[in-house]
Structure 1
Amino acid sequence: MSSDKVLTARGLRVEFGLPGGRVARAVDGVDLDVAPGEIVALAGESGCGKTTLARTLLGLERATGGEVAFGNVPLGRSTKALKAYRRQVQLVLQDPSGALNPRHTVYDAVAEGLRIHGITDDEPGRVAEALSRAGLRPPERFFLAYPHELSGGQRQRVVIAGALVLEPSILVADEPVASLDASVRGEILSLLLRLKEDAGLGALVITHDLGLAWSIADRIAIMYLGRIVEQGPVEQVLTEPRHPYTRALVSVLPDSPVAEPVVLAGELPDASRIPGGCRFRPRCQEVAAGNALKVLDQCEGVDPAVLGPDAEPHLVACHLDRALRDPARMSG
């Protein structure tokens, strides 16, 4: 993977102070890469840290530790550094109605990024090209329209055009189709795929919908309580899920490779009360069923990192998974 335009996170941590001196570890040691020409889905339950991770990758949230970099250049905090970075890494919000100013025309909404970045040459041509790439054709027809005059799908295309006008390498899309009906969802996902194929645009797509991830992503990262617990090629992870949490998520999909739906026990995750050892252990169906007895000391004592052989793209943070792949660990 060429490193000149790759968005990377290494050991990324984000903590928030809470009343009573408590600390919420919303992002707790994440490693992640997104390159132009690939779509990476970031999936997990609500509250697992997906949106905080996305905001930190965009420089909208300050990291407590670790590093965000683009093309091997660490993300700076100065206004100049952030402006240059955001020409390459652009945000697409999930709610187009909230993302668009109702008093701005489509033209002004798309041109806003150009004006912020001081790009003055051929503004009408750049706006028209961005709208056309986003599937709003002929683009001039939409210049003087206001958001309330558009359908939900058209509004989302305007939001995407506002990102495309700066010619970024990576989009960070937070639940980009969550507010749209099923037919329009498919159109927007097809648009993202076309942008990937035709322009080499990459994307990190934040979603709780594994079906969406299956239809659009090249790779998927499963997040639980601030950490990536499994990641790899989307087809491999979703047809051969190895982490108990991933298996639980996959078990409710139509035609799931997991034989029976998995109902997770225990309390919902709380980033201010992360348990010791493996953070998933209190809800783990394998622990509850007694299938992890021979590695339970490790489950209780060590929070596993996402590791795997160098040649293996499918990585899993689970003591039981590693033991099953290395029988000597189970018999010891």
Structure 2
Amino acid sequence: MPGPSSGEGVVPISDAVTERTAEPAEPRTAVPVLSAAGLSVRFAGRRGAPPARAVDGVHLDVGAGEIVALVGESGCGKTTLARTLLGLERPSAGTVSYAGRPLSYRSRALRAYRREVQLVLQDPAGSLNPRHTVYEAVAEGLRIHGGAADERERVADALARAGLRPPERFFLRYPHELSGGQRQRVVIAGALVLEPKVIVADEPVASLDASVRGEILALLLRLRDELGLSALVVTHDLGLAWNIADRVAVMYLGRIVETGPVEKILVAPEHPYTQALLSVLPEARAGIPVVLSGEPPDPSRVPPGCRFHVRCPILASGAAEEAGVAERCQTEDPAILAGSGEAQAACHYAAARARA
């Protein structure tokens, strides 16, 4: 899969279209390594208010050796979904499964699970203890999970795999002595030292310069190729999704509204929300940017019908009325999307156009 080489920035969508669309889709394993089925997370409202539906009926699969980008604007539920997949939040309904087995929330089972599924946080400066050396930061996970006789070798190997070479040169350094990209590599090494099967990366390059972003994205792709790692990358940046992901899941107000192979979703999106997100990218193809009106609705008061209809430019323009679906958009909730790899959109208008 194409990706930015070391030292490069993010490849513009318009420059990558031909190369990406020419690639054949890789076969996916029958059993996803990590999956959510009917997952819902609700938080109690204050003073008798309705509960907030942060995640509301999500199906999502991550296959072995696959990178899935979870995309959406702030407040759509991406981070809550990621925390639930990590076992940090208990779902109100639905299940999280690892290698086909439902996740157990007993302390011993969670401990074993978290060796296999590791988190990479957004802000490396905030996630590293300023009083710990690089060696202590990377070795911490090993020590929490029972230690290892070959601790020094495993820490050195993790740092080397994360691109910090020679690793011994970084052992006694502190976070303030490192650049932003080096700190992010230390965070990634801290996840790699436990030899996980899956990485959940929450905005892994949001705080980095463009040139360093390219290096970290190239690193994640190399780790996928060398170690067979799977990854769920949480981001608001569709350009990042284009460069790194095999599949994209677009989230709005607690639910996946469009999903499918990255080249299909980012070249020919069907949901008007995805179209609006793409239209404002600097590297998007020529066209008028779609500026959505208003703010996303309160997750404790999800509107009836399609949850996007109150901001939908298709409905506002009259195109949905012409297609005969305007009433359905306002009263009938689209079907919840499956977690499989095929392209899907939770949109009455898109479905009507497909039938036509």
TM-score range normalised by the length of the shorter chain: over 0.9
Whether 1:317 aligns to 2:325 is no
Greater length-normalized contact order (CA 8 Å, ≥ 6 residues apart): 2
Pairs within 5 Å for 1:23-38? 23-38=51-66
Aligned to 1:106: 134
CA contact (8 A) 2:31 2:63 kept: no
Q: Report the 3-state secondary structure (helix = DSSP H, G, I; strand = E; otherwise coil) of the residue aligned with 1:299.
A: helix
Separation in 2, partners of 1:287, 1:168: 45
User: Per the alignment, in what secondary structure is the counterpart of residue 292 of structure 1?
Assistant: helix
Aligned to 2:48: 21
**Hey, what does 2:39 align to over in structure 1?**
12
Question: Which residue pairs with 2:172 in the alignment?
Answer: 144
In the alignment, is residue 297 of structure 1 matched against residue 327 of structure 2?
yes
Could you give the per-residue CA deviations for residues 246-303 of structure 1, whole angstroms, max 9, x where no partner exists?
Answer: 0000111235357321111233332122101100000000100011111122112221
CA distances 1:138-177 after superposition (whole Å, capped 9, x unpaired)? 0111111111111111111000000000111110000001
Q: CA, structure 1 residues 155+255, in 2 after alignment: closer, same or farther (shift >3 Å)?
A: closer
Which residue identity does 1:314 align to in structure 2? Answer: A
Cα displacement (A) at 1:307? 4.5
Counterpart residue identity of residue 305, structure 2? G
Matched AA of 2:332: V
Within-5 A mapping of 1:193-232: 193-232=221-260
Post-superposition Cα deviations, 1:83-123, rounded to whole Å, max 9, x if no partner, equal 11111110000011111111111111111111111132201
**Which residue of structure 2 aligns with residue 330 of structure 1?**
none
- Aligned equivalent of 2:266: 238
Tell me, in whole angstroms, the C-alpha distance in 2 between the residues paired with 1:157 and 1:212: 18
- Contact 1:12-1:27 within 8 A present in 2 as well: yes
User: Measured at CA, do residues 307 and 16 of structure 1 come closer, stay the same or move farther in structure 2, by a change above 3 Å?
Assistant: closer
- Alignment partner of 2:316 out of 288, 304, 312: 288
In structure 2, give the amino acid aligned to 1:322: A
Amino acid in the other structure paired with 2:325: V
Unaligned stretches of 5+ in structure 2?
Answer: 1-27
Partners of 1:274 and 1:291 lie apart in 2 by 23
Query: Is the Cα–Cα contact under 8 Å of residues 27 and 226 in structure 1 kept in the other structure?
Result: yes
Offset at residue 12 of structure 1 (A): 0.4
Which runs of 5 or more structure 1 residues have no equivalent in the other structure? 328-332
CA distance in 1, matches of 2:105, 2:135: 30
- Using the alignment, how far apart are the partners of 1:268 and 1:306 within structure 2? 19
Q: Distance in 2 between matches of 1:140 and 1:181?
A: 26
Q: Note the alpha carbon deviations across 1:176-222, whole angstroms, 9 max, x for none.
A: 01111111111111100110111111111100011111111111000
Residue 245 of structure 1 and its aligned partner are, at CA, apart by 0.3
Normalized against structure 2, the TM-score is what? 0.88
- In 1, Cα distance between the equivalents of 2:279 and 2:273? 10
The answer to whether 1:191 aligns with 2:219 is yes
Which stretches of structure 1, 4 residues or longer, exceed 3 Å deviation after superposition? none
CA distance in 2, matches of 1:246, 1:195: 29
* Count of residues in Structure 1 that have an aligned counterpart in Structure 2: 325
3-state secondary structure, aligned to 2:29 = coil
**Which letter does structure 2 place at the counterpart of 1:118?**
G
| Mean CA deviation greater in 262-271 or 40-49 | 262-271
Letter of the aligned partner of 1:271 in structure 2? Answer: P
Q: 1:157 aligns with which of 178, 185, 188?
A: 185
Give the structure-1-normalised TM-score: 0.94
Q: 1:116 to 1:307 in 2, by over 3 A?
A: closer
What is the alpha-carbon root mean square deviation over aligned residues? 1.5
Displacement of 1:5: 6.1
Contact in 2 for aligned 1:48/1:269 (Cα 8 Å): no
SS of the equivalent of 1:94 reads: coil
Is 1:43 aligned to 2:68, yes or no?
Answer: no
